[in-house]
């Protein structure tokens, strides 16, 4: 059971990292959320300049 547990733990960690922002906030379209993040970063960059 040792190796199986390590694989499961790694899989759960990867799932949490990849789907954390989408699953808990219940965003229907992840791509739309990514675009919003990019726009916010660009706006902050423009304001700083």
**Furthest CA-CA distance within the chain:** 55
Q: Is residue 30 predicted with pLDDT exceeding 60? A: no
pTM: 0.35
Among 36, 8, 33, 7, smallest CA distance to 20 is for: 33
pLDDT band at 1 (very low <50, low <70, confident <90, very high): low
């Amino acid at each position: 059971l040792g190796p199986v547990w390590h694989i499961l733990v790694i899989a759960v960690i990867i799932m949490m990292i990849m789907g954390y922002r989408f699953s808990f906030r219940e965003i229907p379209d992840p791509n739309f959320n990514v675009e919003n993040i990019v726009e916010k970063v660009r706006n902050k960059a423009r304001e700083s300049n």
